[in-house]
Amino acid sequence: MKGQLLKHEKLAKYTSWRVGGPADQLYIPQDRQDLIEFIKTLPESEPVFWMGLGSNLLVRDGGIRGTVINTKGRLKEMSLTGDGSVYVEAGVPCAHVARFCAERGLIGAEFLAGIPGTMGGALKMNAGAFGGETWAIVNGVDMLDASGNVTHRKSQDFKVAYRSVKGFENEWFLACLLTLQQGDTVASQQKIKGLLEKRGATQPTNQPSCGSVFKNPEGDYAARLIEQTGLKGHAIGGACVSEKHANFIVNTGNATATDIEALIYYVEEKVKQQQGIVLQTEVCMIGVAI
């Protein structure tokens, strides 16, 4: 193996919330082929978890039993194909994809600038921002299975919905092909600049968070419901509902994963009691509680 294998590695430094206990083992692959070779060495029964920028992810304080693959700074290839599609590996940050496409006069990916994760995470959950959704521009994907086999699949092979993608058991996203329209580079770059300014003005981008915690209910906004319930600024331990955007929970400096999870359930319960709506979490919660 050419990558880095770390045993009992604490995951807090790999997550955007800055919390999380140790993984039994963490593998940082050198590149796509090295990752494939590593997967082949694992028993097929081994639990495997994927982590890019560690956003949209709450790792519990007891950590993860199994193997974590970290693609941050790895699986970073991105290129134009012969037919004008954009090839993007799973570890590329979404914001980089938005800029890459704009520079080449391809429009329709600008919204990716507002997603604080990698392409792999965006594919897994059909991430969206500012009215755009990932799978609206996906043409096909490369999938890796637990035996180390790679299969190319078309977007229509998956059942895609709001913040939900259902596909194939024990297969993971390695890369994707994006289909975009030709447009104006300057206009696209200006759109990205405007989206980032809006994000900075409305979201607590200077504090550790996971992005949006809850999905928006149909016809409404989770942030409006939480704010209406009077929960802005409510804290449990070091976890606090953001004063800037109610659908963000921030780590004020000393939060544990237990604090954050408790606050998530508290918000759910209070909104249900006062608004009669059951919020669904967008954030993925994994690992062992302590």
Task: Let me know whether 232 and 282 are in one domain.
Answer: yes
The CA distance from 111 to 132, in Å, is: 6
Task: Let me know whether 192 and 86 are in one domain.
Answer: yes
Q: Is residue 264 domain-resident?
A: yes
CATH number for position 264: 3.90.78.10
Active site residue 282: yes
Structural domain including 32 reads: 4-70
pTM of the model: 0.93
The owner of tokens 């796509």 is: 32
The CA distance from 260 to 47, in Å, is: 24
Q: Which of 163, 188, 242, 261 is catalytic?
A: 163
Task: Let me know whether 97 and 176 are in one domain.
Answer: yes
Question: CA angle 221-95-224, nearest 5°?
Answer: 10
Which H or E run contains 65? Answer: strand 64-70
Identify the pLDDT of residue 169.
85
Task: Let me know whether 35 and 83 are in one domain.
Answer: no
Number of domains composing the chain: 3
Q: Is residue 207 domain-resident?
A: no
Q: Which of 55, 188, 212, 242 is catalytic?
A: 212
pLDDT tens for each residue of the chain, 290 residues long: 899 999 999 999 999 999 999 999 999 999 999 999 999 999 989 999 999 999 999 999 999 999 999 999 999 999 999 999 999 999 999 999 999 999 999 999 999 999 999 999 999 999 999 899 999 999 999 999 999 999 999 999 999 999 999 999 889 999 999 999 999 999 999 999 999 999 999 999 999 999 999 999 999 999 999 999 999 999 999 999 999 999 999 999 999 999 999 999 999 999 999 999 999 999 999 999 99
Task: Let me know whether 106 and 140 are in one domain.
Answer: yes
Q: Is residue 278 domain-resident?
A: yes
Burial class of residue 128, CB neighbours in 10 A (0-12, 13-18, 19+):
buried
Active site residue 103: no
Task: Let me know whether 13 and 54 are in one domain.
Answer: yes
CATH number for position 180: 3.30.465.10
Task: Let me know whether 82 and 196 are in one domain.
Answer: yes
Task: Let me know whether 42 and 105 are in one domain.
Answer: no
Task: Let me know whether 95 and 196 are in one domain.
Answer: yes
Identify the pLDDT of residue 1.
82
Active site residue 55: no
Task: Let me know whether 244 and 270 are in one domain.
Answer: yes
